[in-house]
Amino acid sequence: MKTRIMSMICGLMATVPLATNAQNTVKGVVINGQEPIYSAKIQLENTYLGTYSNANGEFKLEGVSNGDYHLIVSAEGFEDYFLDLNVQGDLVLKVEMMQAPQMIEAMMVQVIKADAKTPTTYSNLDSKTITQNNFGQDLPFLLATTPSTVVTSDAGAGVGYTGIRIRGVDPTRTNVTINGIPLNDSESHGVYWVNMPDFASSTDNIQVQRGVGTSSNGAAAFGASINLKTDDVQKEQYATLDNSIGSFNTFKTSVKAGTGLINSKFTVDTRLSKIISQGYIDRSSSDLKSFYLSGAWLGQKSSLRANIFSGKEKTYQAWYGTPESVINGDRAEIEAYADRNYIFGEERESLLNDGRTYNYYTYENEVDNYQQDHYQLHFNHKFNPRLKLNVSGHYTRGRGYYEQFRAGDDITDYGFAPVVLTNDTVTTSDLIRRRWLDNHFYGGIFSLNFTKNNLNLIYGGGANQYIGDHFGEVIWAQFASNSSIRQRYYDNTGEKLEFHNYLKGTFSIDKLTFYGDVQFRYIEYKFLGIDEVNGVIQGAELTAQYNFVNPKFGLMFDFNNKNNAYASVAMANREPVRSDFRESTPKNRPASEQLINVEAGHRFKGRKLFTNTNVYLMSYKDQLVLTGQINDVGGYTRTNVDQSYRAGLELEAGYNILSNLSITGNIALSQNKIKAFNEFVDNYDVGGQDTIAHTNTDLAFSPNIISSLALNYEPVKGLNLTFTSKYVGDQFLDNTSTETRKLDAYFVSHVQLSYTITDVLFKEMTFGVKVNNLFNELYENNGYTWGYIYGGERTVENFYYPQAGRNFLARLTINL
């Protein structure tokens, strides 16, 4: 199977040297009145030929074959320009663009995104691609075919708790923004896509930057960043009904509507969505609801837009994973696992009989229940063609809990007194608890953009405040002792202030563009932690502060409108997460992490062929990893390792075989290593830990090969067929490169069919069918491991998250 995907990808990459017979040149100027328009995008539709206008508004497309083309010119703040061309020789064009109403797209999104003049590595998804692929699975699954990307699903079918790793980097190290507003949780740095069901239905475009990328807002991009922009203002009124249904009783319904421009100044857009699914794993159901509401005022030089969106989820927990022996169907090993862990009765029968869909949790209300509301206000002002300002305010309110049944817990851990019976004292009890998070995140960001001739400067920044209340409640206990209902057994608050600003710019001299970017971040985190006072470990209010300077430099050389090359070097610094602070004393607290990222690449765009080639080195100092070590207060916290790195080659290509048949693909080959670290294993025989030294081992969850291939065919107008395949190499569950603790490589394929008809009953109707895992591959894309020494032997317990076999989704979209 590995040979098959390699052959397919290598065959695709072999098209790189192909030449075209194109001989013509299309050149011209892009203007508004007498003013030239800088950085307008010029594209020949259904080809890969494109370029950008220079400071004089001039552009040139070389190597254009004879034939008919549709020219599209777009620029921020102007209406798109369309022109049909019949090329039989060289052409000279004059493109006069009309001023458009100020859109929220404007600056705050653009300033943190990379573009054709940015010497970094990125992928874009436009609104058409997002809409075509949005059958109701969580947003990470829309990004599954982007280079170096692996997506995961706890429930096994892409609905509920899902995750994304880019270049092997875990989600807490990936910076995510919506319209420039930070989305990452301030304490854990994670992004929980389950809190944003069907957000893709209100997303106009997504950019994924790999590596450190450009300066952004919020948490440090320590391997990748994902920038989402919500829908543009629509000039015409519209209404859309989008329904999907499929395997595992999955159902999605979404209703969108908008007023269009009212008096050329006002617009309102809204969406309501609901998604339900039983999940592939037993008892892994999801009940998800969301809405989006946006209103805008558009002036000649200013715009004001308010966005409100919310997601509410109730998800049955599938976090525990499935034991390796159950995945393998080895009855003897299942029995041994049950014996080791003292599992008997109904739970043992479940292990023996449920197979790959086994779920450890059986309590009827073992659910995660959370709601997150987002409020955004964006103001844009254009002082003149050279100077623009954006100011945005935001507030996010989150609250919810996950509920757990606990068997035989020590009641003193919950502040209960032991229960004295006639002849016995009870110290343990079955109970049900809820662990709550009630948080507030608010602040503001800004950017000022100055453009003159070949110089583009952006100064931006912001300040954000986070307040998170963490508490636990016992809502039932078999032996309640002296407790009361909803008695809190822990209660603590974390507060985090973050301030940042940055200055970045590009300067072009003929074909050479220089890029510079420097960011400053200040972090102050206050939390209830633990400290050693007079030799005694006790709770204490603690504060941690950080000052980070993150510089970035790069350059790009345009050989012509088809070829350019780039190189960049960037630094990022990142503070530890909440658990690192909470479970260690200041003396034992881990240090912040640092990343030096070097990128270099080449881009080619021809009429039928495009290629992107990129090499990278991500060198870490003090990267935080799990080693199994218990610290001075008994916590299994992460440990700084002195040196580690990720180095790789990313290749991406596409070829238009026919006007209605195209093939695209990418492959990432990498090495991801820790140079040296010590592993710690609990030794129950002696009551301590054994230390095992390792050198040159693989970083966990970092496959050495990730590849994707897509074939798109449109046999008749409106009918589209897409076949995609994804190969992910072996991944280790920990950092020891141990063969018995890994995720096996997998190769999975999907097929998607859609047919659109217009002006029949409705303005437009699209019927779609998607078959996931076409060849019924049995695979796992996530897991974890732990182990111990007992009786002189080491026992390893591996757990995996099985993914669904062949399954389908059907869809009907109606545009009124």
pLDDT digits (tens, 9 = 90+) for 368-396: 999 999 999 999 998 987 899 999 999 99
Indicate which CATH number applies to the domain containing 7.
2.60.40.10
What's the pLDDT at 173? Answer: 93
Q: Phi then psi for 335, rounded to 5 degrees? A: -60, -45
Structure tokens that stand for 662 in this block: 């195209």
What's the pLDDT at 220? Answer: 85
Domain contains 53: yes
Query: Which 3 state secondary structure label does DSSP give 13?
Result: helix
Domain contains 115: no
Q: Please determine, for residue 266, whether its predicted confidence score (pLDDT) is greater than 80.
A: yes
What's the pLDDT at 631? Answer: 66
* Predicted confidence (pLDDT) per residue in 669-691, tens digit: 999 999 999 999 999 999 899 99
Mean pLDDT of 747-764: 95
What Rg do the C-alpha atoms of the chain give, in angstroms? Answer: 28
- Confidence category of residue 2, pLDDT binned at 50, 70, 90: very low
Domain contains 72: yes
Residue 162 in contact with residue 194, Cβ under 8 Å?
yes
What is the Cβ-side half-sphere exposure of residue 814, based on CA atoms within 13 angstroms?
A: 8
Residue 337 in contact with residue 797, Cβ under 8 Å?
yes
Angle subtended by helix axes 331-340 and 345-353, to nearest 10: 150
Domain contains 686: no
Query: Which 3 state secondary structure label does DSSP give 95?
Result: strand
Mean pLDDT of 391-412: 95
Nearest alpha carbon to residue 465 among 195, 216, 192, 187: 187
- Confidence category of residue 632, pLDDT binned at 50, 70, 90: low
Provide, for the chain, the percentages of residues in helix, strand and coil under a 3-state DSSP scheme, each rounded to the nearest 5.
Answer: 10, 60, 30
- Whole-number average pLDDT of the chain: 91
What's the pLDDT at 18? Answer: 42
| Strand pairing class (512-533; 487-509) | antiparallel
Across-strand partners of 205? 229
Q: Which residues contact 490 (CB under 8 A, 6 or more apart)?
A: 470, 471, 472
| Strand pairing class (762-772; 807-815) | antiparallel
Mean pLDDT of 25-41: 87
Residue 781 in contact with residue 746, Cβ under 8 Å?
yes
Q: Which domain holds residue 61?
A: 1-99
Domain contains 123: no
- Confidence category of residue 474, pLDDT binned at 50, 70, 90: very high
Q: Please determine, for residue 6, whether its predicted confidence score (pLDDT) is greater than 50.
A: no
Q: Which residues contact 271 (CB under 8 A, 6 or more apart)?
A: 198, 201, 202, 254, 255, 256, 257, 290, 291, 292, 293
Structure tokens that stand for 242 in this block: 């989008």
Total domain count, the chain: 1
Domain contains 326: no
Cα gap 544→385, rounded to integer Å: 44
Mean pLDDT of 435-463: 93
Q: Which amino acid is at 574?
A: R
Structure tokens that stand for 453 in this block: 């001739």
Domain contains 569: no
Please state, as a whole number, how many other Cβ atoms lie within 10 Å of the Cβ of residue 389: 16
Domain contains 8: yes
Q: Please determine, for residue 105, whether its predicted confidence score (pLDDT) is greater than 50.
A: no
Q: Which amino acid is at 151?
A: V
